Chain A
């Protein structure tokens, strides 16, 4: 039993294989990303407790060592450096590849498996980090997959034409809508208008006017829950336009919804899990209940990726007979094909170090109230090449 086995976590492999498995988490607890990092980490820690309670991984406990990066690059690096020097077996990083880069580079250069729970671009791997990027993975959905799933949803709903609105400030939203457009057209849809803005650039109301002037069965918006998204929704509805609005996980959450029930209406979101008490998976509901008890109530469905990432890490360690050797773990993770996790089945490939293949929850917001209405899958993620 490893419960009370609190041995010295020295650097040598031998010692490490006896002591607990340390996951060094260099995450943001202060700034913007705490909103994503916090719930994911909390879910992972709950999952870890459960695993430990059931005897750990081959008898070894999982321990999280958490440090706040405050989203400062130098600190992000120094924190990761300290963790690796302190013998962390796996590095756990912030949910945004750009903010996480200084820590990711520390991890992969030290040969440690480096995992982000909810990065959503295809950049968490060799695409960004060259060969060493082999060691970097994210258990978030790759945007190519989410965009495709959004298109499938539109097609299921019978929407034939779409106004597409893309926030160009980050790669994730751009990729998601790009994928949506490609898949939507493959499925016979028509792109009625294709609008862009950059979060905070002040042009959102012009976009609103153009969208309101263009007839389509739906509006697909790939944006983040900052100021422009609610401004967009208010503007569209204020103009008397009741067209359904749909978007990927990045618009999940009820906090940003304008309070007016006539405004927050007819909006569709695909996400990892329903946080509105009606998720179809009882394990997810239990996890949410547990998080609430700890005062870490999730605000979007993304939290569940934290638990899924931990499950993936554990699975990889177990498949490697308890070794935490980075390269070995990495090749196992890359090979996951339909790995069953609490967030559904996830797959990776040499092209995509960010997960794909999940079954998404479709949330519909009706008169200000979000609720779970069904499941959707992308089939294959879109490829841009």
Chain B
């Protein structure tokens, strides 16, 4: 019963991603690019979800794995013939070797996982703010090294001349792959134990859960998916700079995750897709666009204000995220006529109503400095 219901929970996010990909494939060149970006964002947010959603620990570091994946996949697919001219300071090994775009995605994911694992071994011992800041430090260091060490990359300049092989379909496959991994992980023993530990670390230890180990597993998987997302990103745009995979992307992807609802895969996907589309729509509105009878025409830059304000209000009015951090269970037979992005069924919808008045409810208890109270 749980198993079957669990599987149906994968259907909604998968369908949403597929729908976005297919719609994207049918549009004009520029719009295809936008849709590809949506799907790559979704991949990143899913990567974030695997760690943050399951462990409850905020990490500002996942974008460093995206960065590593992007630069690795980009660098290794530039034909070695041109590398000496455009990247004269590279280590000979990096300059002399190249791989195909597809292989480079494995490279990106593998390096992301490796880096995450190595960073995770010490850092996963930390929790709370200390963990947040330590992972932020990882981001800063990665950014700084990639930006100024021109033996391993382009340094402060753009890495250009990367094959542009990722369109909506490729991005969709990437996002689906990430969603599958995330789904399998969250249903694995490790995933379930980590989610419990998220709720109460002390209680988890009392039932034998090795929190450090499970966090490390999630962090590594998240690193792999983030690296993959980086690989997709660089092959979409054909170039990459360190600024692209730094603070702004970190905040934006985190915001997508939280707006969607960071407790569920469905939330991650919904958040990424919704915020990305909102962004696209608002930018178009800046150029003037008709919404039904209305003619929306925004001043330049206003879209950013609106996007920010919308994200803030979504969090204010739905702090648990649009999905309430719950999975959406789609029952396949009833699927006819229902889009994948539609309402959760009633029971779950009722359950995730925020209840601002549940004062002093069990579970909202304050913490104590003792290990046990």
- Residues of A near any B CB (own CB < 8 A): 29-30, 34, 67-68, 70, 73-75, 77-79, 81-82, 85, 97-99, 101-102, 104-105, 123, 126-130, 168-171
Contacts and interface: CB of A to CB of B under 8 A. Distances in A.
A129 B156 contact: no
B239 A102 contact: yes
Contacts of B158: 97-98, 101, 128
A67 B33 CA distance: 15
Contacts of B148: 168
SS class of chain B's interface: helix, strand, loop or mixed? helix
Given A73-B237, A77-B238, A101-B239, A129 B160 contact: yes
A168 B237 CA distance: 26
Given A74-B33, A85-B28, A30 B238 contact: no
Q: Which of A68, A97, A104, A128 has the most CB of B within 10 A?
A: A128
B38 to A, nearest CB: 10
Given A70-B283, A74-B34, A29 B85 contact: no
Nearest to B161: A130
B82 interface: yes
Nearest to B244: A73
Contacts of B85: 126-127, 130
Q: Which of A85, A129, A171 has the most CB of B within 10 A?
A: A129
A73 B156 contact: no
A98 B242 CA distance: 10
Interface in B151-192: 156-158, 160-161, 164
A75 B36 CA distance: 11
Nearest to B300: A29
Interface in B136-157: 148, 156-157
Contacts of A169: 156
Contact of B283 (A68, A99, A123, A128): A68
Nearest to B30: A82
Contacts of B241: 73, 98-99, 101
B286 A68 contact: yes
A123 B304 CA distance: 31
A68 B288 CA distance: 12
Given A68-B300, A74-B237, A98-B241, A128 B160 contact: yes
Given A105-B161, A127-B85, 7 more contacts: A29-B301, A30-B304, A74-B236, A85-B30, A99-B241, A101-B239, A169-B156
Contacts of B32: 78
Contacts of A74: 33-34, 36-37, 236-237
